[in-house]
Amino acid sequence: MKSRVKNMAEVSFINPLSDEGRSIIREYGDLNQIFDVDESLIDICTHTLNQRISDDALIPKSYAELAMKRIQWAIEKKNNKNFTQAEFEYLANGDLFKQDVVTFHILCQAIAIQFNTGSRETRLFIESQGTLILERLAKIPPMARADIIDEVLDEIKTDGAIHWKSLRDIVASKKLKLTDLLIDDGDIILQQEDFLYRFGDEFTDRSPERMYNILIGDSVKEQIISRLIMQKTEEYINRIKEMSQRIEIHPAIIKIGEDLKEFIPEEISKYNQYYAGSGGIYGSVQAGKLNPDAFPPCIKATVEGVSSGGRNDAIVLLLTSFASYARLYPRIFASDETVKVSDMDPDLSITENEILPLIFDAADNCTPPLFDDQPQEKINIISKLGFGMHERVDINHEGETKWYTPMSCEKIKIHLPNLCHPDKSCKGINNPLSCYGRKKYQLDQEAPKE
Ligand code: SF4
C-alpha cells in the first residue's frame, strides 16, 4: 500500500493534469495562501540532495515564489551559458509533488489570462513543462520509472489508444522518428500488455516479452509522455482562456499574471546579446548596443511579436531596417552618403551576433512564429540588409540588393496601423529611427556616469 501511495504521488509529479493532480488542487483550498511563507516547502527545498543553499535567495519561500522560480529555471536553462542545475535541484525532487502540482495550475491560469496562446511566454512555459518531465523521469530509478511511465500512459490514453497523428509535431521536430514507433491500425503500441495482446501469438520461436523490450525502448515512451503532456497543457491553457471571458478570476492569479508580465522580459533581457542595459549590472555592456528602453511604441510592439496580418511587413520591412540602422548608422537621415552595412561592421559580427538575433527572436515571437510557415522570409530579411537573396549575410554578396532605410511614421500608419500607438517620445518626429535617436540620447544623458 505504501509503495502505491508513493507511486501515485510521483504520477502527479510527472503529469500534474492527472486525476491525482486534480484532487490535490481540490484539496488545496484558498488561493490567497500562495503568498504566505510555507515552512514545509522551504524544508523540502533545503533538504534536496545536491541543492545549493549558500544563498538564501535560491530557496523559494512561498508557492508564488516557487512559480517564479520555475519560470526563471526555464529561462536560464534555455539562455544562460552558465546555468547551474544545483540552484534549482529541488524542481526534480518528487517530495515536492503537491507544491509542484499547485504551482503548475497557478501558472497555467496566470499565463492563460495574461498572455496570448502562442505567445513567447506561453510557449516558454509549455516547453519547460516538457523538459521538466524528461528531467524528472531521468532521475527515477529504472524499475520504478517503468511503472510510472505505464501509469502515466494509461491515464493519458483517454480514448484507449494514442493515434500517430497526435504525435505529428514530435515527429516533425525530429526528436522521434516515425520508424521508432510501432504502429498498428493507426494506434501507437507502447505498453507491454497492449503489445502482447496484439502480437503475442506472432512470436513462436522467441519470447514476446523480450521482443517487446527490444522493439519499444523507454526513451520513445518518455519522449511521447513529455510531448503529450505539453499538448494537454496547451489545451488546458486554451480552455482557461476561453472560460476567463465568463468567470471571475481570483485576484491571486491576476497578481501572478501581472508579475510574470514584468518578470519574464526582465529575465530574458539578461541573456540578450543585442541590448545594452539602461543601468544596473547590465549597464556596463559596450556603448552602441541597442537600448530597448528607447524604442518607440511601434518597435516595442514588433519586438514583442505581432499576431495581426501585418506580421511579415512588421518584421521584414520595419524591424529589419530599424534595428540595422539604429545599431550601425542612426544618423542616416542626416547624411547624404550612401552606406553599406560593412562600412560600419566590416566583419559583419555585429550584424550576425546582435542585429539578426533580435530580428529572428521577434519573428519567433509572432503568432504564429514567422519562419514556421514562411521560412523564405529569412532570405527577404537578408536582402533588405543589402546582401541579395541568400540565406546568410556574406560580404561577397553585399550590394546585390539595397540596404533598406526605415519606413516613415506616415507609411507605418497606413500599412501597419495596429503598431502605431504614439506616446510622448513620438512628438514632432516623422520616423521611428529619429524617435529612437532622440530618446537614446536623453537616456544616455540621464544615466549615471561610471
Ligand atoms: S508615431 Fe512613428 S515612431 Fe511613434 S509609434 Fe507611430 S510609427 Fe512609431
The angle that helices 218-244 and 142-156 make with each other, rounded to 10 degrees, is 40
Instruction: Answer for the pair 34, 85: CB distance below 8 angstroms, yes or no.
Output: no
Query: What are the DSSP calls for 257-301, one per residue?
Result: HHHHHHHHHHHHHTT-SSB--SSGGGTTSPTTSB-GGG--HHHHH
User: Quick one: pLDDT at residue 383?
Assistant: 97
User: Quick one: pLDDT at residue 119?
Assistant: 77
Atom index in ligand 1 nearest the CA of residue 425 equals 4
Determine which residue's CA is closest to atom 3 belonging to ligand 1: 432
Which ranges in 292-395 belong to alpha helices (H)?
A: 297-304, 311-313, 320-328, 341-344, 349-350, 356-365, 370-373, 377-384
CA 404 to centroid of ligand 1, rounded, Å: 18
CA 289 to centroid of ligand 1, rounded, Å: 21
For the chain, give the number of residues: 450
The cell 516538457 sits on which residue? 130
* Ligand 1 site residues, Cβ closer than 6 angstroms: 296-298, 409, 412, 420-422, 426, 432, 435
User: Quick one: pLDDT at residue 351?
Assistant: 94
Determine which residue's CA is closest to atom 6 belonging to ligand 1: 420
Burial (CB count <10 Å: 0-12, 13-18, 19+), residue 74 = buried
CB atoms within 10 A of CB 279: 12
- DSSP code of residue 249: P
CB atoms within 10 A of CB 294: 22
Order of all β-strands in the sheet with 187-188: 162-163, 187-188, 183-184
User: Quick one: pLDDT at residue 368?
Assistant: 86
Atom index in ligand 1 nearest the CA of residue 423 equals 4
Atom index in ligand 1 nearest the CA of residue 296 equals 3
CA 367 to centroid of ligand 1, rounded, Å: 22
User: Quick one: pLDDT at residue 14?
Assistant: 94
Cα gap 9→98, rounded to integer Å: 8
Backbone angles phi, psi at 285, to 5 degrees: -60, 145
Mutate to test the pocket of ligand 1, among 299, 318, 426 (most ligand atoms within 8 A of CB): 426
The cell 502562442 sits on which residue? 118
Cα gap 132→148, rounded to integer Å: 15
Q: Where exactly are the structural domains of the chain?
A: 11-268, 275-440
Q: pLDDT digit of tens for each residue in the chain (450 aa)?
A: 334 444 444 789 999 999 899 999 999 988 999 999 999 999 999 999 999 998 899 999 999 999 999 999 999 998 888 899 999 999 999 999 999 999 999 999 999 999 887 777 888 999 999 999 999 999 888 888 888 888 888 787 655 456 656 666 666 655 566 666 677 777 777 777 777 777 777 777 777 777 777 776 677 778 888 888 888 899 899 999 999 888 899 999 999 999 998 898 888 878 766 666 443 333 322 337 899 999 999 999 999 989 867 999 999 999 999 999 999 988 887 776 778 899 888 889 999 989 999 999 999 989 888 998 899 999 999 999 999 999 999 989 999 999 999 999 999 999 999 999 999 999 988 999 999 988 988 888 887 655
Query: What are the DSSP calls for 23-45, one per residue?
Result: HHHHHH--GGGGGS--HHHHHHH
